[in-house]
Structures are given as C-alpha cells and as structure tokens.
Amino acid sequence: MHYWVRAFASDFSGTPPQPRSGHTAVPIGKSKIVVFGGLLDKKFLSDITVYDIENKLWFQPECTGNGSDGQVGPNPRAFHVAVAIDCHMFIFGGRSGNRRLGDFWVLDTDIWQWSELTSFGDLPSSRDFSAASAIENRKIVMYGGWDGKKWLSDVYILDTISLEWMELSVTGSLPPPRCGHTATMVEKRLLVFGGRGGGGPIMSDLWALKGLIEEENETPGWTQLKLPGQSPSPRCGHTVTSGGHYLLLFGGHGTGGWLSRYDIYYNDCIVLDRLSAQWKRLPIGNDPPATRAYHSLTHIGSRYLLFGSFDGKLTYGDIWWLVSEGDPIAKRFIESPPKNIPDNKGMAAESI
C-alpha cells in the first residue's frame, strides 16, 4: 500500500519554487533535484530552484554564463526537455509565448554555470512538448514533439561529448506522430507512452525503440507493446518515473464524451511492472492530490516527490510525497485540499 502525504513546511528549509506547470525537475545523481522553467499566469519562467536531498533544503543558486543574447542563462520557457548527464543538465527547445525554441544549453551544477552550446550534425527543428532520456550516461535520445505546424515522429541522438546530433533512421512500422508524451530509457529500449497525435486525438499506445546501444549492433526499429493488465486511459502531459523494477505513471490530460468532447485531468497511479510485463493499479490508501497535468514527479530514495501542474484552470505549487506504508511520514493523516480550491496556486490561461 502507498500513501499520498502533503509536504509539511517542516519537511524542508529554504524557499520552494513558485507555482508552475510545464517545468522540468531533473535529478542530478542522488544529491539534488534541479527545477527549471515553466509557465505561470501566461508568464514563461527561467529561474532555477534546487532541492538539496541530503540537507532537505530548497535554494536558488546564483547562476553565471550567458548566450548569444548576452543574458545569463536560457530565455524563459516551458514544455522543453531536460536531461542530466553526470553533473550537467542539458536542455533543448520548448515554448516561449507562441514561439517554439530550438536552442541548446547545458548547466554545470557543480559551479552553477550556463553555457549555450553550438552543436553540429543533423540538428533537430525547433519544438515543444517533446520527450528525451539519457542513454548510458553519455548520449541523449529525443523523440517527437510539436513544431507549431505539425506533430513529429523523428528520433534524434545527441552525443554530449562531441555535441553531434544524429537523426536515427528507423525502418519498419513507426508510432503515429505526437507531442506531450513520455520517453523513458529502460535498459536497452526507449519506451514511449501516450501523447496527443496528428488531428488532435489523445493516445494510450506504448512503443519500444531498439537500436540505441552501439555495442548491441541492432537495427533501429519500433515495436508496439500491448501489455495485459489495467492499462492507462489515453492521456498527454503525464509523467512516467522509474523506480526499482517498475515505471510509475501519474496524472495527465485526456478527453471524454462522444458528441460533445470535454477535458479530463487525472490523478491516478498506474505501474508498468517490468518483471511481469503488465500494467497494474498502484494501491493507494488515501485521497490523492488534485487532478493535474504538466507536473513533475521525481524519485528520491524510496519516495516520490510531486510538484506543480495545471488542471485546465489553475496552476499548482503544492508539494506532495508518495510513500510506502512503512515510511515514517505515512503515519500522517492529512486530508487532500479541495480539488477546486488548491492553495499556493496561480491562474494560467494557456494549455496544450
């Protein structure tokens, strides 16, 4: 059994990040979580807030380093991708206003210095709502997104040492183009779930991409996986977080109705069990947080840390722990806040 526990102010010191959605929260080793960017009140953000795991401390580092425009760090943005390689956080793309971005940055989290990178090779187009994951702590694979005119189904691999991009040539059947999906490396495969596709439908398909590990000498190819169990409903803007032998899917945005369509936001927890290769509902012993999408859910030791989101009307800044019943804080009995009156919130008028 697992429990959602609202974070107490006493759980942390320092100042947590302000409410936002469409941000990234990237683990740097086992020492810290770096929160970057996002959207609040139609305002795109470029701030950095860090959670020091050992000291249970939120802080805002004084970053240095500028790009071609002379400003410190990247322009404000949301719906970008961010991936950690060692102590470095790489970010690409995203949206600022109605403009899709195609710039490429790295943050050295040892000295808190930004660098705008000049890469070469097969450069990806500007995009938002893409998804990316690390390959063997050296390369980054990025799939799909939205370029402002069309949904994408391309695959790019970045070598973070040489800074060379390569578009992966994939034979055989391909997933439908999409954005707002997740892409998670599991051993030698990239697993892609859900997203919004061409023409607007929201999907619930699961695909695996092979051929990403050079030593395996595999021909790159996609396989659609149809797993047994209680599979997730179609959604985008969800999270998939790796924890032990399973992947945890939480939240997201879908649609309902037949003649008249309407938005649905989720707060369910669904596990992809890698050992049994099936979907399972994670048993939850209390009320979950309010329904949401475009949040972050990060694995810290035996816990998961949930922050931020958008529910179609409101932007959240609440912080929650998801813990097993043996965790000391599982003994807290805290009612969930009313779903239509979240505290620490702001209004947001933009959605996907």
> Which residue, among 71, 8, 73, has the nearest Cα to 36 in the 3D structure?
73
CB 40 within 8 A of CB 53: no
Could you give the CA distance from residue 320 to residue 108 in angstroms, rounded to a whole number? Answer: 28
- Whether pTM > 0.95 for this model: the answer is no
Could you give the CA distance from residue 267 to residue 289 in angstroms, rounded to a whole number? Answer: 7
- Looking at residue 239, its amino acid is T
Q: What is the DSSP letter of 21?
A: B
Q: What is the pLDDT of residues 235-274, one digit of tens each?
A: 999 999 998 889 999 999 999 877 668 899 999 999 999 9
> Which residue, among 81, 116, 82, 78, has the nearest Cα to 98 in the 3D structure?
78
Question: What is the residue extent of each domain of the chain?
Answer: 2-347
Q: What is the pLDDT of residues 194-226, one digit of tens each?
A: 999 977 789 999 999 999 998 888 999 999 999
Q: Check residue 341 and give its pLDDT.
A: 33
C-alpha separations of 20 from 127, 201, 308 in Å: 20, 26, 5
The ranges of the chain with pLDDT < 50 are: 334-343, 347-352
Q: Check residue 339 and give its pLDDT.
A: 41
**CATH class of the 2-347 domain in this structure:** mainly beta
Two tokens at 144? 């799909």
Q: Check residue 217 and give its pLDDT.
A: 85
Count the Cβ atoms, other than its own, within 10 Å of residue 29. 10
Could you give the CA distance from residue 345 to residue 102 in angstroms, rounded to a whole number? Answer: 30
Count the Cβ atoms, other than its own, within 10 Å of residue 273. 15
User: Which position has the token pair 């690390």?
Assistant: 134
Q: Is 270 exposed, middle or buried (0-12, 13-18, 19+ CB in 10 A)?
A: buried
CB 272 within 8 A of CB 284: no
Q: Check residue 258 and give its pLDDT.
A: 73
Query: Buried (b) or exposed (e) across 218-248, using 16+ Cβ within 10 A?
Result: eeeebeeeeeeeebbbbbbbbbbbbbeebbb
Query: Buried (b) or exposed (e) across 163-181, using 16+ Cβ within 10 A?
Result: eebeebebeeeebebbbbb
